[in-house]
Chains A and B, each alone.
Chain A
Amino acid sequence: MTRINWFYYAAPARFYGLAGKLVPWCAAAAVVLGLWGLWIGLVVAPTDFQQRDSYRIIFIHVPASWMSMVLYVAMAFWSAIGLIFNARLAAMLAQAIAPTGALMTFLSLWTGALWGKPTWGTWWVWDARLTSELLLLFLYIGYMSLRAAIDDERRADRASAVLAIVGVVNVPIIYFSVQWWNTLHQGASVSVSKAPTMAAIMLQGMLVMALAMWAYAFAVVFARVRLIIREREQGAAWVRELRPAGALP
């Protein structure tokens, strides 16, 4: 059994190449899974007997909501690694995750509003689930604002890492909010449908869309971390050597 030396890729210069190889594969997976999931969710899956066709928002809403939380945990994790080991690449990964996490959180709230109007009769309600998800958006925005406000990148890494780690307590609050409080928002959605024959195709569509979102997030984060590496390592010899090649790979 060969052991992989994970620290080998802790050097930004080496990870830059690895991420570059991974981006097209992740992007291709996102496109294929996304088209497959959309086909199932919008074209093949039958309508829901209670919510009619408004339920189809689930195919975006649930994957985006999952990603909003998963990406936050990933951002906090890499922030913690960056703080503990004083690792530049980990901090850069956290930095690269934040905009996509904020986007997923926005999409979760947006599609939730468009789903709430026809089913609850309101775009918004100050319910525990919705409020904690809105707080998540503010945490992402706060993280990015704090980074942007500090000129010294390494200081920005440390300050924003503390914010990310403190804010991670909000993620279990979002997840368990529907159990801890009496919310208008429904409980876990994986078992939402009553009719078992419909549940299978709906569940399939939702999981395929979730995988598509994962692949998209990986592709975008890897592409962004490459740009961040280049921006932050501009003085390094290996980055200067990339320049004669002209266009970035």
Chain B
Amino acid sequence: MTPYWASVSDFLAMGGYGLYVWGSFGVTALALAMELAALRARRRQLEDEA
């Protein structure tokens, strides 16, 4: 379970594939966060009506 990377900058560069790797993981994180925010907004609306 030791890190594969020699440094943080190596990790961020992803061997030159940073755009593709971080583009995948970043958009996934954003999409899940948006879904959770939408659920929260829907709950708020229900609470306001109540």
Contact = CB atoms under 8 A, between A and B. Distances in A.
B3 A44 contact: yes
Contact of B21 (A46, A53, A216, A243): A53
A174 to B, nearest CB: 20
Contacts, number: 86
Given A52-B16, A115-B20, A100 B35 contact: yes
A151 interface: no
Contacts of A25: none
Chain B: interface size category: 20 to 34
Interface bracket on A: 35 or more
Interface stretch (A70-78, A137-145, A219-227): A219-227
A111 B24 contact: yes
Given A99-B35, A230-B46, A54 B21 contact: yes
A164 B16 CA distance: 42
B6 interface: no
Nearest to A63: B28
Nearest to A110: B27
A187 interface: no
17 contacts: A38-B25, A43-B5, A44-B1, A44-B3, A44-B4, A46-B4, A52-B17, A53-B21, A56-B17, A57-B20, A60-B24, A106-B31, A110-B28, A111-B28, A114-B19, A224-B39, A248-B47
